[in-house]
Chains A and B, each alone.
Chain A
Amino acid sequence: MSNAPDVKRTIFYDYHVEAGGKMVPFAGYLMPVQYTGGIMQEHLHTRGHAGLFDVSHMGQVVVEGEGAAAALERLVPVDLEALTIGQQTYATFTSELGGILDDLIITRWADNCFFLVVNAGCKEQDIKHLREHLGNLDITYLSGHSLLAIQGPKAKNIIGELAPPANELFFMNGCRVSIGGIECYVTRSGYTGEDGFEISVSDENALALADQLLAYDDVQWIGLGARDSLRLEAGLCLYGHDMDTSKSPVEAGLSWSISQSRREGGSKSGGFLGSDRILRHLAGGVSKKRVGFVIDGRAPVREGAEIVDDQGNIVGVITSGGFGPTLQIPVAMGYVESDFSAVGTKLDALVRGKSRAMTLVKMPMVPQRYYRGH
């Protein structure tokens, strides 16, 4: 089953196995869900030291051509023309109906060139979407490239030694840099809530780059399990769980990612797929929205659990949930009817027929520690 020929491996596969990685199929790849330390240890290691993540399964795509910024703006509700070279932004690919096709990070590489990192499970569909809508631009999938993330409070010390210019970057900025003679594109970004970096590197140099990072005592491999618990505590969405085509970015709590200029009254209001519905949601509010919870007791509340009010009425559903190793309590996120979305609201989740009391909290549940300068 897991050895089916269509299951791909990243360039780091042997490294994962060597490190005790428990390899599982994920989005068409065999990926490490955890190593010998286990999810709890890996999670805490990342929060306290530096975790190394193989995220090479994600799609790295370059969009290039005359008018690339304006053209891409038809697919994402952000102001790409306002990005400086090297600057990046979080975005959603919106659907015609105002839902979310995928979420991604867009970095401006040059006036007419953008670098996109998209979800592994969506990348083929995303490339098709880009080609359908942006026929006049070159859409290149960087198939020969790997992607590593180094995340946690010690990441800056390591990158500071290996790639000093990259350590000068602020959150959501990137630059080309040589690491021990290896050409890389490094951004100060990640999916853990910690300060950290993502490094795009050619496959042929990828193992040598990993060797340099793993040479530090503070660095260890971190699997998908801890990646999920880290992003959950950081209040970050997982596509296909916390958002999908049935939710608008406003419902998903991602209004912050819609640029002012693309909103009603902005200098280039609308003009992206589904903008009518999305701008209506921004102006008029939504009937349901994504919120975060901390759960009383120790029993985790997981995806799919129904959320009920004190009368037992179903008012929402959990979309991600688990134990938060940093907080040592269960945490979750989900969608609730807007009437029940105030911070501090007490609700119950139904788990195996039992009510689990929980409190709606502001996200992130663990403070983000992004580097934005002094």
Chain B
Amino acid sequence: MGEKIYTRDHEWLDITDGIATIGVTEFAQEQLGDVVFVELPEVDALLAEGDEVAVIESVKAAGEINTPLSGTVVGVNTALIEEPELLNSSPQKDGWIFKLALDEGYDVSELINEADYQDYISENA
């Protein structure tokens, strides 16, 4: 896997050959608490940046995930159907949520690297 990049909405992206694997960060899972259900998108769904793509339900509340980039869903983590708690135990690896084939000419200039993300959460925690 390549180097992860991050959004200020606490998502991570790992982009390889135009396909982004996307999930939520360790910080996000701590905020969510015990995850009991993940509503996954449909494979082949066409998404525009900012569209709601998944919903994470914790014991406490529901949290929406909006896609940080535009593209086509090419994979979802079906392991989360039986084991939504993967999102707590391994949010940045086994608990990935979906894979997006990014639209041509995608732009990651709004996204930040690991160090900047860590700075961002420590400033905003």
Contacts and interface: CB of A to CB of B under 8 A. Distances in A.
Interface of A: 33-34, 38-41, 43, 225, 229, 297-300, 302, 322-323, 325, 330, 352
Nearest to A328: B36
Given A225-B33, A352-B55, A39 B60 contact: yes
30 contacts: A33-B60, A34-B33, A34-B60, A38-B33, A38-B34, A39-B33, A39-B58, A39-B59, A40-B34, A43-B59, A225-B33, A225-B60, A229-B59, A297-B37, A298-B36, A299-B39, A299-B57, A300-B36, A300-B37, A300-B57, A302-B61, A302-B62, A322-B59, A323-B37, A323-B57, A325-B59, A330-B36, A330-B37, A352-B39, A352-B55
Interface residues of B, number: 13
Interface in B81-101: 84
Contact of B84 (A33, A41, A298, A325): A298
B14 to A, nearest CB: 27
A356 to B, nearest CB: 10
Contacts of B58: 39
Nearest to B32: A38
- The main secondary structure of chain A at its interface with chain B is mixed
Contact of A225 (B36, B39, B55, B59): B59
B37 A298 contact: yes
Nearest to A329: B36
Given A34-B33, A300-B62, 5 more contacts: A299-B37, A299-B57, A300-B36, A323-B36, A323-B57
Interface string B32-57: 01101101000000000000000101
Nearest to B88: A38
Contacts of A41: 34
Contacts of A323: 34, 36-37, 57, 59
A298 B36 CA distance: 7
Interface centre among B33, B57, B60, B62 (most CB of A within 10 A): B60
A352 B59 CA distance: 17
A6 B118 CA distance: 33
A40 B59 contact: yes
A41 B33 CA distance: 11
B34 A39 contact: yes
Contacts of B39: 299, 352
| Residue with the greatest number of chain B CB neighbours at <10 A, chosen from A302, A322, A325 | A322
Nearest to A43: B59
B52 to A, nearest CB: 9
Nearest to A228: B60
Nearest to A41: B34
A366 to B, nearest CB: 15
Contacts of B61: 302
